[in-house]
Structures are given as C-alpha cells and as structure tokens.
A and B are shown apart, each in its own frame.
Chain A
Amino acid sequence: MRTHAPDLFRFTSVLGISALVLTSCGGNGTDEGDAAADTDTASDNTDDNTAEDATGELTVWVDAERADDLADAASDFEDDTGIAVTLVQQDFEEVRDQFVSQVPTGEGPDIAVGAHDWLGVLVTNGVVAPVELGDAAEDFEDVAVEAWTYEGQVYGVPISIENIALLRNADLVDQAPGSFDEMIELGEEADASYPFLVGLDAQTADPYHLYPFQMSFGAPVFGQNEDGSYNAEELMIGNEGGTAFAEWLSEQGEAGVLNTNIDGDLARENFIDGESPFLLTGPWNVPAAEEAGINVEVDAIPPAGDEEAQPFAGVQGFFLSAQSENTLAATTFLVDYVGSPEVQQSLYEVGGRAPALTEAFEAAMADDDIVAGFGEVGAEAVPMPAIPEMGAVWDYWGASQAAIINGEGDPAGLWDQMAEDIAEATE
C-alpha cells in the first residue's frame, strides 16, 4: 500500500486546507448574516418595499401545552387580516436561551412564550421589544403587568399567573390554619406521619418555596420602587427580619419540620398517601392528589412571623422580538388576540393556572375552587425578581438555607455571610 501514501497525504492536506477555509467562512458567515440583516433594514428605510417583503407571516414560538389554543387564535387572526401565523413548538425551558442566541442572527421568531423572570436576561441582551398595552393594561391583574414591567417598560402580554399555596387534606384537618405554629399543631393532632411537608433539596433547600415564610419575617430580597419594580441596589435580605428567619429555619430544621432529605417527589408522594395533612406546593401537584382521591383544599400560606406570607408569583406571557420586521402585525396579534378574554380563558383551561386578564381571572375564580384558592393567594403575591443577577442570588440563597436547616453552624452568621455574598454578586 505504500504507493498510495503520497496520494492520501495530498488528499488529506487538501481537506485540511478546505477545513480551514470552511471554518473561517463559518466565522464570516455570521458577519455576512449581520450584513444581510443590515441591508434588509436599509432597504426598509428606502421606502421602496415590495409588498412581498412587508406582509410576510408571523412566527410564534409556543410550548406544546399552549399550542392548540393558540392555533385557534392564530387562525382567527389569519381570517381577519390575511397574515399567516406559523406556530413553532419549543420546549418551554429552552425558549429563553434559544431566543437570546437566535434573534441576533435573524432566525428568531416574531413572538415567543416565556416567564417574566427571564426579562432581565432578555432585556440586557437587547433581544426583546417593549409592548405598549395602552389602556388594555388596566384589564389585566396588577401583579401580572407589574411582573412583565422591567425598568419602567412593559415587555409582554401576560397570560397566566402561577404561584404556590398551601394544599390541605380536608379529610385529616378540617380548618385552615392561621399561623405556621397553628398548622403544625393541627398537623400533629391529625396524627399523620408528617405535620407539614414542603419539598427541599439536600444541597440547595428551596428559597422559592420558603419565600412566603421569609416574607412573613419582613425580609424580602430586594426593596421595591414605588411602581412595584425591584430595586436591585437595595438588598433587604440581610435585615433583622432575615436573621430572625434564619433562626426560625434552624429551629424548624432541628425539630424536623423542615427536612432537606424530603425532596419535591417524596413530599408529593407522602401527601398523596395521606401521610401529611399539609403540602406547600403549586397547582402542578393538584391533579395527582385529586386522582389519588385526596379531598384537596387550597388555603392561604400561614405566616411564621408577624407579617403576611406572600409567595413569589411567576407570570407567563408572550413577548416580542426586537428584530421583528412585522412589529405592527405582531403587536396587533398580541394585544388584540392573545390578550382577548376567549384566548385567556382557553389557555387557562389547559394549564389550570389562573389567567392574567381580570375578566378571565374572575370567571375562573367563580368556576373552580382550586384555581380560586391559588388565585386568591396569587393576588397578594409579589413578582419574582427578574434581574439577570438572580442566578447568583438563588445559588447562594439555597446553599445557605440548606446549611442552616441542617444545623451546619450559627444561623445568623451564615445568613449574614450569604447576604454579603449576594451583595457582592449583584454589584
């Protein structure tokens, strides 16, 4: 075979060079793409658009759960305006990062579904455009619009509000508890294996589920501006209430009420098996409990401190791409179709989450006790902060909570250390 070697060598070297050429063009390729986008906008500005360019179609990224209902709205829109709406199904969790990386290339959609706490990342990357709701803003629940407001701008049309509340097994305990201690007492009287359950992670506890208790000690993460938005500079987590909360965590950990070995799945299984009268969770665990024949009631979260136990609210909605060339059509679709009571109502029926539009919200409240229970708690909830630094905040927050619950040191000291670390990370 020796005679072939030079041939092969020449061949591979040619391929090697073409590899370099291809990759260098890969790099250029993105530049070319940008240049293409630039020329596009340039030609838009020269006012000699052909009709073909401008009408186009709308592309909407939506998760599988909401796709069917949106398809109805999309076909209505197409009937009324003649603009086709292409629905592209995406995994909800993937939408944020995909949107951030694809919008600049011009491959992104005009509209996408998402959660309000992505806004920090989306806005900082400049991929999302504000949506002026105008007078329609008043038709939505306050917390929903508040959540989709970032630095004074509204960035999306909210569709549903999601928050946690206290699930009660009404066969074991027949009254709603007024405070955390009362709940534990009721739970112990009911003679169940666990007086109260909440899913926690061994490494990172769960700051989201424990937040209502923290709020009841008067220790929000950030201070809020007058318009309800968060002020990331005013870190409140390390205040006196925070220290009191840390002490409380440590006590509950020692008493075994809070147990980081019980994760979300174990907590749900035990509640379904009737091993506990109370479970702190969201609407996503209700169907399983109802199927198992548990007589589920939804109660307000009982405060552990002196103040109200407000949970975080997560608000889902649709938002607009900053690079959309169909802004006019997209805005019309968002405000007049997605924001309509019919669509909001049908979106609620699939997800079981309270609708964001007040009219649909009230209809849902009257219609379903479970949604009404979560909705009542949600109306008092505070939006989850959306600033991009939240990633770091959750990280320190959870690890410290787990350490405090497991009694790995002085609670107040650990909490102060955490507040310092968070302050450093959000600077």
Chain B
Amino acid sequence: MVDETTTGESGRITTSQKLTRRQKQASAFVDATTVGWKMMLFKIIVLGLLCATAVYAALVLFMNDRWLVGSLVLVGAAALTWIYLKRGVLPAKYLAPGLVFLLIFQIFVVLYSGYVAFTNYGTGHNSTKDHAIQAIMLQSQDRVPDSPTYAVSVLEESGDLLASDDLFFAIVSSEDEVLIGSADQPLEQSTEAEVEEGRVVAVDGYEVLEFGDLLERQTDITDLSVAVSEDPNDGYLRTQDGQRAYVYTSRYIYDDAADTMTSTETGAVYRDTGDGAFIADDGEQLLPGWQINVGMDNFVRAVTEESIRGPLIYVTLWTFAFAFLSVATTFALGLFLAMVFNDKQMKSRKYYRLVMILPYAFPGFLSALVWAGMMNQEFGFLNNVLFGGASIPWLTDPWLAKVSILIVNLWLGFPYMFLVCTGALQSIPEELTEAAQVDGAKAFQAFKSIKLPLLLTALAPLLISSFAFNFNNFNLVYMLTGGGPRDVSAGVSVGSTDILISMVYKVAFVGAQADYGLASAFSILIFIIVGTISVLAFRKTKALEELN
C-alpha cells in the first residue's frame, strides 16, 4: 500500500478505514485546497457545455423520431457528468474519454461490419423495400412517345369550409378544350375556364395555385397521377415541376395487397420471394431490390464461388509468404542497423539515426507511388541509372514483381524495426555481454545466446503485430502493382501480387458490383486467420518469457 503517501483520491477512500478522524479532516482539507475553485469552475463550465450540447442533440434526434440514439446521447452525457463530478472513481476519470472514442470508432464499426456480413447489402440491395418499390415506380414511368407537353395548372377546390384538400390538374388539349381531372377522376372537359396563352388561369369553383402554393404542397403535386381517360392504357398525366405535364404509362403496376409487381408489357408477375427483390417465375429479377438478412450465405459464397475459389489457395499462400518475409527482412535489416548505430565507437550516430528514420516519416502510399515510377521498365531510375539501361521488368514479371514488393516494403518497414531494436538494445545492460566475453564467448556467440533472446522477449509482440499489419497491407499492393501482373489467359481478375485483402477488394468492388456483404464476410474470415495466428504466437512468446 504505497498509495497512502500519494494522496490520490482513490487511495484516500480505500485506506480511509485505517485513518483516524483527525487524519480524515486533514486529508479533506488538503483535497479542498489542492483541487481549488478554479479547477472546479473549469469542470463545471466544460461539463455544462457538454450537457447543453447533449440536450440539444437529443432534442434534434427526438424531433426526427430517433428515440434510441437520442436517449443514448442523454445517458452518455449523464454518465460522463457523474464520473467527473463524483469524488473518487479515479480510473473511470482516466478511461472515460478513451472509452467513448473506442465505442464510437472501433467497437461500433467492428460490430456493424459483422452485421453487414449477414446481409446482402451491395449494389442493387441498398435500402429498404419501401424505397425499392418507390424507385421502381419512378424508373418505370415511360413518357408516351410523341405526346405533347402540356402547360399544366394545379387547382384546389375553392371555398373554405366544404372544400376537400384534393388537387386537380387543368390542361388545354390540342383541340383547345380545357380538361380537368384529379386522382380519383379522369380528365373531363370543363367549359367554365379562362385560358391565357395556352394555360388555364381561372376556373369556376376552383382556385389556381400560385408557385408559392405549389412549393408548399410539392410532394402531393409530384405524387399526383391523373388518368387521361377511363381506359388505364391511355396513360396518366403527371408533372415534376408544376408547370409542364406529360402523359406517361407505367411498365410495372404494384399490387399493394398481394405485394407483387406486374409488368404491363408482358403480364409477368414479380413476387417477393424472400430473396431481397421482386422475382418473376422465370427467375428474372427486378432491380433495385432491398436489404435483407441472408444468414451464412456470404460466408458460404466466400469459399465456394468459382471466381474466388480458384485463386484463393494461391493468394493465401502468397499472403502468408509476403507477411512473413516482410517481417523477417525488415527485422533483420532494422536489427543490423540498430546494432551498428548502437556502437559507441561510431561518430555522429545521432545524425545517421535521424536519416534512417526518414522513410518512416514519409506517407507510405506516396513512397509506393514513387517506387512504382522508379521501377518503370524503360524510364525508371533503377534500370536507367543503377543498372545502366538494363530492361528489367520489375513490376511486370510475376516473380520479379513479388521481389519488388518485398524490396519496397523493406524500405518502408525497416525504420520502424530500427527504432524498436535501438530501444530494446539500449535497455540490455552492457555487463551481460562483457560477462559473456569474460567467460570466453566470441562476439557472435554472445549476441546469439544472450542479446538476441533478450531482444526477442521484448520485441516478439511487436513482430506479431507487424505480421498482422502486413497481412492486410492493402496500400502497398494497391499503389505499387495494383495486384498485377495478371495472367490474362487464366480468366481470373486476380494478379500475382494480390494478397487476401486486395483480392477481397477486387472481388467485392471491382469485378462485378459492390458487394459489401461479401466483403464484410471476407474481412471477418481474415480477422479470424490473423487472430488465430496472433494468439498462437503470443502463447509461444509467453513460453519464451518463462525460459528467461
């Protein structure tokens, strides 16, 4: 119990039973003076702002009927206020800000992609069924060919008391007749209308809406269809802007009760068969469809779909090789340089070390692009200057491209290893090496049996995380080779430097259409692979620790 002397608030509480009353009074006095009124005022102002923002946000959310999110904002703000106003709960005070961000940016994202993996979310299945029906109805309205543009007037029944809210369209036909109709009543001739420049300006018993009135009821107006005649095949009149109306026919009719779409051209009936779209008996789909839960489908497809299954084994092997070799090469070079620059006989080590870190300070994707230019077969720096005009296909030969990607990753990755190795080396006492030398060990032997095991104990977790990082090193592959070169005669869109994550990108986004469900399923599978390897590796390092 060293805490007693640190006078932390939590320490005070846990040890309070042992203290006498006077000591309690004393420590309360100390607390009151050290926290100070300035701090308290600052606390109150910040928490007040937080609560005000939260209440405002919650009100806006409630007004939009988002009850759950709104109440969560309130609960969250209340919890934060409680944490910071209550005495004690010191760990919570430290952890709360981090945890808030963890919840929003990590856990929510992870669980959301987990949820997406079980849906058919992607191109053509983007939203709800209601939206899909609405979109199909919008998209399938065909303007009757060669039909005229009508200057339309939108009317309301006049009179304040008995008038309904119904809207009417009034147009002037090609025979100069005025026709009026509403949603329930096809166009009919009217003789009590005044026409100016081809547009109806006044009708007995009706009121012509001005532009401002139109705007107030725009959804009603754009949703209004007025049948041209009793025969539905003649089409209906609609307007998009309240000025011009056109005659349309619809390719599909939605039957609300039966929940089916019927084609007016072929008579085919499209049903909701539970596959997230209206599907005809012959299997034809009407798109857009909508999002549904598809259970394990995406996971099954991830391992069975032909375009993926073929290259999957090859790509998996290369991914492992790439991740392992990347870690091995960067670690070897980083360690070597760290040892060289750790040697006290070397002069101006500081400056060399600074230069070593430069590749790490550069944005990785930029370096990859620069390297892609330097590796150009004909004009690249490597071939032209270093290899005296040779024509080495760095990025276009399947095997050389793999080597190139490892070289570039070595360039990008060694400064990190250099940094961590330098740190670890400096924490190993020199006496150990000296002792080994006194015992007659040669320099290499001393390094191998004493320094390396100590280093590995400290660095193993970093090596594992580096492996996990390289396993998903999308940026490098995408920027340097784009996964290529491809064997175009093989008929798959996967190239020879594609790793799992870049293959997922191609399969889910480039190959056919965006398929977020499949992509999420894949990323979960990749997570499982990386997670398993990391757990196994951490077990191994524990054994290593115990050895020491």
A residues in contact (CB < 8 Å) with B: 1, 3-4, 7-8, 11, 15, 18-19, 21-23, 25-29, 32-36, 38-39, 41, 44-45, 47-49, 51, 54-55, 81-83, 100-101, 103-104, 121, 123-127, 129-132, 134-135, 151-153, 202-204, 259, 261-263, 266, 322-323, 325-329, 331-332, 335-336, 388-389, 391-392, 395-396, 399-400, 403, 406, 408-409, 413-414, 417-418, 420-421, 425
Are A32 and B69 within 8 A (Cβ)? Answer: yes
- CB-defined contacts of B115 to chain A, threshold 8 Å: 27
1/0 contact trace for B185-218 toward A, CB 8 Å?
0000000000000000000000000011011111
B289 CB, nearest partner CB in chain A, Å: 9
Are B135 and A328 within 8 A (Cβ)? Answer: no
* Residues of B94-123 contacting chain A, CB below 8 A: 95, 99, 103, 107-108, 111-112, 115, 123
1/0 contact trace for B122-133 toward A, CB 8 Å?
011011101110
B26 contacts chain A at the CB level, 8 A cutoff: no
* Residues of B229-255 contacting chain A, CB below 8 A: 240-244, 246
Sample (23) of A-B pairs whose CB atoms are under 8 Å apart: A3-B14, A34-B130, A49-B216, A54-B217, A54-B219, A103-B127, A123-B139, A125-B123, A132-B240, A132-B244, A134-B149, A134-B246, A203-B486, A261-B377, A266-B379, A328-B240, A328-B242, A332-B242, A332-B243, A335-B241, A391-B512, A399-B484, A414-B488
Are B491 and A421 within 8 A (Cβ)? Answer: yes
Complex: A132 Cα to B426 Cα, angstroms: 74
B50 contacts chain A at the CB level, 8 A cutoff: no
B68 contacts chain A at the CB level, 8 A cutoff: yes
Are B512 and A36 within 8 A (Cβ)? Answer: no
Are A132 and B482 within 8 A (Cβ)? Answer: no
Complex: A135 Cα to B488 Cα, angstroms: 48
Out of A131, A203, A322, which one reaches B134, CB within 8 Å? A322
Out of A152, A332, A395, A406, which one reaches B241, CB within 8 Å? A332
Complex: A254 Cα to B141 Cα, angstroms: 52
B237 CB, nearest partner CB in chain A, Å: 12
Complex: A4 Cα to B14 Cα, angstroms: 8
B493 contacts chain A at the CB level, 8 A cutoff: yes
A416 CB, nearest partner CB in chain B, Å: 10
Are A135 and B149 within 8 A (Cβ)? Answer: yes
Contact A322:B14 (CB < 8 A) given known A36-B64, A332-B243: no
Interface of A is mostly: helix
Segment of B220-228, B341-349, B441-449 in the binding face:
B220-228
Complex: A323 Cα to B127 Cα, angstroms: 11
- CB-defined contacts of A129 to chain B, threshold 8 Å: 138
Are B215 and A54 within 8 A (Cβ)? Answer: yes
Contact A409:B489 (CB < 8 A) given known A15-B99, A32-B68, A327-B240: yes
Complex: A418 Cα to B488 Cα, angstroms: 8
- CB-defined contacts of B240 to chain A, threshold 8 Å: 131-132, 327-328, 331
- CB-defined contacts of B107 to chain A, threshold 8 Å: 19, 22-23
B510 contacts chain A at the CB level, 8 A cutoff: yes
Out of B111, B126, B482, which one reaches A204, CB within 8 Å? B482
Are A121 and B139 within 8 A (Cβ)? Answer: no
Are A26 and B218 within 8 A (Cβ)? Answer: no
Are B66 and A29 within 8 A (Cβ)? Answer: yes
Return the chain B residue nearest A151 by Cβ.
B139
Are B246 and A132 within 8 A (Cβ)? Answer: yes
Contact A130:B215 (CB < 8 A) given known A25-B68, A203-B484: no
- CB-defined contacts of B143 to chain A, threshold 8 Å: 132
- CB-defined contacts of A421 to chain B, threshold 8 Å: 491
Out of A1, A104, A259, which one reaches B128, CB within 8 Å? A104
> Given A104-B128, A134-B246, list of 4 further CB < 8 A pairs?
A36-B66, A104-B131, A413-B489, A417-B489
Complex: A29 Cα to B141 Cα, angstroms: 33
Are B112 and A23 within 8 A (Cβ)? Answer: yes
Are A125 and B124 within 8 A (Cβ)? Answer: yes
Complex: A369 Cα to B375 Cα, angstroms: 39
B31 contacts chain A at the CB level, 8 A cutoff: no
Chain B interface: which size bin?
Answer: 35 or more
Are B379 and A47 within 8 A (Cβ)? Answer: no
- CB-defined contacts of A262 to chain B, threshold 8 Å: 378-379
Out of B72, B99, B135, which one reaches A126, CB within 8 Å? B135
Are B138 and A130 within 8 A (Cβ)? Answer: yes
B376 contacts chain A at the CB level, 8 A cutoff: yes
B455 contacts chain A at the CB level, 8 A cutoff: no
Contact A81:B126 (CB < 8 A) given known A47-B220, A391-B512: no
Complex: A1 Cα to B130 Cα, angstroms: 57
A422 CB, nearest partner CB in chain B, Å: 10
- CB-defined contacts of A124 to chain B, threshold 8 Å: 123-124, 287-288, 513
Complex: A83 Cα to B79 Cα, angstroms: 42
Complex: A27 Cα to B68 Cα, angstroms: 10
- CB-defined contacts of B431 to chain A, threshold 8 Å: none
Are A261 and B379 within 8 A (Cβ)? Answer: yes
B370 contacts chain A at the CB level, 8 A cutoff: no
Complex: A121 Cα to B123 Cα, angstroms: 7
Complex: A371 Cα to B89 Cα, angstroms: 70
B276 CB, nearest partner CB in chain A, Å: 12
Return the chain B residue nearest A333 by Cβ.
B241
Complex: A124 Cα to B287 Cα, angstroms: 6
- CB-defined contacts of A21 to chain B, threshold 8 Å: 72
Are B489 and A414 within 8 A (Cβ)? Answer: yes
Return the chain B residue nearest A39 by Cβ.
B65
A58 CB, nearest partner CB in chain B, Å: 11
Contact A25:B72 (CB < 8 A) given known A15-B99, A131-B240, A414-B489: yes
B81 contacts chain A at the CB level, 8 A cutoff: no
Contact A388:B513 (CB < 8 A) given known A322-B138, A335-B241: yes
Are B216 and A322 within 8 A (Cβ)? Answer: no
Out of B216, B395, B491, B493, which one reaches A392, CB within 8 Å? B493
- CB-defined contacts of B91 to chain A, threshold 8 Å: 4, 7-8, 11
B67 contacts chain A at the CB level, 8 A cutoff: yes
- CB-defined contacts of B142 to chain A, threshold 8 Å: 152-153
Complex: A239 Cα to B460 Cα, angstroms: 58
B10 contacts chain A at the CB level, 8 A cutoff: yes
Are A399 and B488 within 8 A (Cβ)? Answer: yes
B282 contacts chain A at the CB level, 8 A cutoff: no
Are A127 and B10 within 8 A (Cβ)? Answer: no
- CB-defined contacts of B68 to chain A, threshold 8 Å: 25, 28-29, 32
Complex: A151 Cα to B181 Cα, angstroms: 30
- CB-defined contacts of A396 to chain B, threshold 8 Å: 488, 493
User: A36, A100, A328 — which one has the most chain B CB atoms within 10 A of its CB?
Assistant: A328
B128 CB, nearest partner CB in chain A, Å: 5
- CB-defined contacts of B510 to chain A, threshold 8 Å: 391-392, 395
1/0 contact trace for B506-541 toward A, CB 8 Å?
100111111000000000000000000000000000
Complex: A234 Cα to B485 Cα, angstroms: 30
